[in-house]
A = this chain, B = another copy of it.
Amino acid sequence: PLGIMLGIECVAALHDAGERLRFPIEIYAFGDEEGSRFPLAMLTSRAVAGTLDAVPRDFDAYRQARHPGAFAYLEAHIEQGPVLEADGLALGTVTGIAAQRRFGIKVGGRAGHAGTTAMTLRRDALAAAAAMILTAEQEALAAGGDRVATVGTVTAGPGAANVVPGAAIFTLDVRAARDADCAALADSIIDRFGQIAAVRGVTLSVDALHSLPASPCDPQLMTLMDGALAGEGLRVRRLVSGAGHDAMILSALCPTAMLFIRCREGISHNPAESLLPEDADLAARTMLRFIKSLEDIHRA
């Protein structure tokens, strides 16, 4: 909720100072950005951006969530990576968000008794999935650079200690700063999955859950963010986001900007996630400075 709190603090500071800007400020707390609860990530920001196309026609609430239009979107977030900490910097200007593809993978083998099914006669769906999980890791390592592939969930079916798995289900998440790199890595991994399935005599089902293109931040807004950082006496640092954010969805609605805040050891999605209170304070002041500077472009 840090990003939301920072937005509220900025508006509160403007209110306390009796300042009114020439444009309205809206603060959004989007739900399930992660796609952890529902198969589609960033559900609510999609609704606001008006890009939630798969919703049935009579879901009026989703239709009404569509924003009538905005001239800028700002999102603050911990970096979730080690770059700012390594550089000894509290804040950074985000240049854009990496492309992301996510898949649901199903492997179908043949369930059998763990004691009586000879190793050579097995069609073990989990062993096949294990080979695929390793392959995803190897392909991403071989691709190098900012390219990553992750299998975050897996289940074996029927799922008993003494049964050779007849089914395995897992997720595959692939990211890269450039769309082409992301697509190439995803394609090569899925190709290898197919080869493994063929060799092992198991079925493979690949469900493309979503494909989010790389989302560059707006150059003019990046310049304003650099200015806000400099205005607070901070060294300007620009960096790409390996993580997806609602900003990539909102870019369909208006130009976007993002501010990254240093976090401890780059740890995120983990109870050990942590940032310094003074960094949060600096972020609030930088955001307020950025928001005020929007008057320059809103007037134009």
Contact = CB atoms under 8 A, between A and B. Distances in A.
Interface of A: 34-36, 41, 79-82, 98, 100, 102, 110-121, 124, 126-127, 129-131, 133-134, 137, 140-141, 146-156, 158-166, 171, 173, 175, 209, 241-244, 266-270
Stoichiometry, as copies per complex, reads 2
A159 B154 CA distance: 8
Given A100-B115, A114-B173, 14 more contacts: A110-B270, A113-B242, A113-B243, A114-B175, A115-B241, A116-B242, A119-B147, A129-B130, A150-B161, A151-B156, A152-B162, A153-B156, A153-B161, A163-B269
B160 A152 contact: yes
A56 B71 CA distance: 70
Nearest to A134: B130
A115 B98 contact: yes
Given A133-B130, A137-B119, A161 B152 contact: yes
Contact of A162 (B110, B147, B159, B269): B269
A164 B141 contact: no
29 contacts: A34-B162, A36-B162, A81-B116, A102-B162, A110-B270, A112-B268, A112-B270, A113-B242, A113-B268, A114-B148, A116-B241, A118-B146, A118-B148, A119-B137, A119-B149, A120-B141, A126-B133, A126-B152, A126-B154, A127-B133, A130-B131, A152-B161, A152-B163, A152-B164, A154-B155, A154-B156, A161-B173, A162-B173, A163-B269
